[in-house]
Amino acid sequence: MRSFGEEIRRLEERFFVGRRTETELFRNFVFDAEGKARILNISGTGGIGKSSLLDQFRRICDQEGIPFFHMDCLDFTKTQRGFASRLLAVLNAEAAEDSREEELLQEAVQRLNHLAVNSGLVFAIDTYEEMNELDDWLRQSFLVRLSHRIRIVLSGRFPLKGGWVSSPAWRRLIKFVPLSPFDYETCEQYTSIYGDYNGGFVRKSYMMTKGHPLTLSLFMGLNESDAMRGEQEPEPLVWNETFREIAGQWLREIPDPALRELLEAVTMVRVFNQEILETMLEKVISNAEFEKLIQLSFVRKSERGWYLHQVLRKALYQDFRQKKPQIYHRLWQRSVKYHYTLAVSRHVSMEERNLLMMDFIYIAGAPGFRAMFYDDAIDQSYYIETVHRDHVNEAEQYVRDCLANLEDYVQEMYDPVSNEKYIYRIPKAVNERWFTSIKLSEIMACGNDAVRLLKNEKHEAVGMFIYIPIHRDSLRLLELNPITQSYFRSLSRTEREKLLVPPESPAGWFQYMIDFSMDGSASARFMFFQTYLSYYLKGGIMVYTAPMKYNQEAVKGIGYVEVPKAAHKGFGPDFPAPVFVLDFREDREMKKFAENLYRSALEENETAALDPILSKLTPREREIALLTRTCSSNLEIAQKLYLSEITVKKCLSRIYEKLEVKGKSELVKKLMS
């Protein structure tokens, strides 16, 4: 009699189609002891089937009795401690809270090497594009300790770059496996799983989906009806050939309204479970309804719960928000409250809280901050490379290129949640002061990861990231630099002594500069944001200063607090700049940060309630209209927005006309009501 587990494996095998070349290659990779390759690099666009292929690799290993361990980068924070703790959990070992990073890593390495003694093993990391912060460390400090009997699989959107390919030794160990869309025969095989479709339908499905596996899955879900089978030619489709439109149509055509409601809710969160859905929808969800949701082919299980495929989630989210804005807003409010409650709970570990904070920042963070960094539609291939002494010339050349082409930098950005436009400006003089007030060699002497370059798929440097670690050896430099000195000179003796820590355990970081003036695309900014978040989760203090109002409001929107009496003119006499600090040195500070973020979200919610009134206004007019509630004069509004008083007066005239009010008092009354 076949067991339930055997039946599940049979069905999984049945729904896995194509990829014969890749599975044969994997078998050779695992069983050929004399082969040179030790690392298999699976790469391909979102929805191409990377995770499904990893599932097939696991099944092959299960059949052959070879241990297979799998980690998803969505399940841990991108810190060395987060990686080691998660790996120990995968190996069924518990990470002690008080253990040092090196102790955790050493224990994980020893356990892996021990398990590989007899038959070897396979260790796979999925969603590797999110590992940019740990990429160098993984190669230089982790993999070099592993037994030669361990085979590594790294799966992500982009092929390995940087040190992986610049080193002939590492390049020799890697087998690159880029995934392509299905060919016609595979599409035919896939459609046959759903029933006896005619040749015309198979041709139509191949033409519409271009063989993209996730799109094909949605397409088949839309057309799984008797009318489409047999010899009948399919009806002409009414949407354009785009993934987003197929996804939106698919969501609207789901015959089960309960399932459609659950799917709309899960588009708003990165990871979900039954509890969060019940909280957001304010009703009990039956086990049968939840099972129907998680059985969908594009819903995957992770250590933290379940998640909708990233590409599909964004497409469905945008469709849902546009079609049902009021329902969307109610679910957003409940989601914010749920994440806040968990983030300040005493019953979650520090690693769990860090992951929750990442989710919370996305949901509740200030829209200006989201517009700058948090667009996760990564359409281009970028990677971040740490600058070491042996290639500091490349970083210095980047600085020279920026200085040679200096001009006022202006960038339009859009909040991925509200789609509201923001204008990001950096005056030429400010950029020049940022670049000329430092020497890269001095900064690099403060820490191995102080200077990083953003590189594109052509391996060209298109951005720079400078975070100066704060410790006893960097303090003098920080106290002398014209941009950084004001904060450190404002500290009391007791506060300064807290910063006299060894270089290997910094007290925090001074966020000196994030420059994406050579490539301001959403994809490039998001890569910076991934690295930015990793510093949050290391603990310590984060110090930031800039003279631009946009930057100031963005950091305040995620919890930074202005430091009294630390403002300076290090950017020049025309650009006074306050200093902001985020302090995570103690657990209570993390909770305080969550509380501030929650309070800001509630204020944003109150503003959103005015959308029906303010919908006719431009973003600038909306900002001015809202300030009339708290500012007593046009001059005060102008000072807050760095505008001239006459500009404010002209904007108010247009606002009165659009909202059909006679003056400021009537406008305030209308808004307050």
Residue 256 pLDDT > 70, yes or no? Answer: yes
What pLDDT, in 10s, does the model give residues 172-216?
A: 999 999 998 898 888 888 888 877 777 788 887 787 777 888 888
Of the pLDDT bands very low, low, confident and very high (cuts 50, 70, 90), residue 544 is: very high
Average pLDDT of the segment spanning 37-61: 90
DSSP structure string for 543-573: EEE-S-HHHHHHHHTTT-EEPTT--B-TT-T
Residue predicted with more confidence, 21 or 627 = 21
Average pLDDT of the segment spanning 3-13: 56
pLDDT of 228 reads 40
User: Cα 355 from chain centroid?
Assistant: 11
Residue predicted with more confidence, 162 or 673 = 162
3-class DSSP assignment, residue 295: coil
pLDDT of 669 reads 82
Amino acid making up residue 432: E
Average pLDDT of the segment spanning 292-296: 85
Residue predicted with more confidence, 605 or 345 = 345
Determine how β-strand 121-126 pairs with β-strand 150-156: parallel
pLDDT of 235 reads 42
Residue predicted with more confidence, 378 or 571 = 571
Helix (H) or strand (E) holding 613: helix 611-614
Residue 473 pLDDT > 90, yes or no? Answer: yes
pTM: 0.67
Mean pLDDT: which of 71-85, 236-250, 309-323 is highest?
A: 71-85
Q: What share of the chain is helix, strand, coil (3-state, %, to 5)?
A: 55, 15, 35
pLDDT of 361 reads 72
Contacts of 260 (CB under 8 A, 6+ apart): 251, 252, 254
pLDDT of 586 reads 65
What percent of the chain shows pLDDT beyond 90?
28
Residue 420 pLDDT > 70, yes or no? Answer: no
Helix (H) or strand (E) holding 203: helix 199-209
Of the pLDDT bands very low, low, confident and very high (cuts 50, 70, 90), residue 54 is: very high
Residue predicted with more confidence, 370 or 181 = 181
Average pLDDT of the segment spanning 653-662: 89
Beta carbons of 247 and 218 less than 8 angstroms apart: yes
pLDDT of 233 reads 41
Of 9-13, 408-412, 510-514, which gets the smallest average pLDDT? 9-13
Instruction: Share the mean pLDDT of the chain.
Output: 81
pLDDT of 642 reads 57
Q: What is the maximum alpha-carbon separation in the chain? A: 85
pLDDT of 151 reads 96
Residue predicted with more confidence, 306 or 246 = 306
321's tokens: 């928000």
Which residues sit opposite 55 in a β-bridge? none
Contacts of 424 (CB under 8 A, 6+ apart): 372, 409, 410, 411, 412, 413, 548, 550
Phi (first) and psi of residue 286, to 5 degrees? -70, 155
CA distance 141 to 160: 17
Of 457-466, 542-551, 553-562, 648-657, which gets the smallest average pLDDT? 553-562
407's tokens: 């001009």
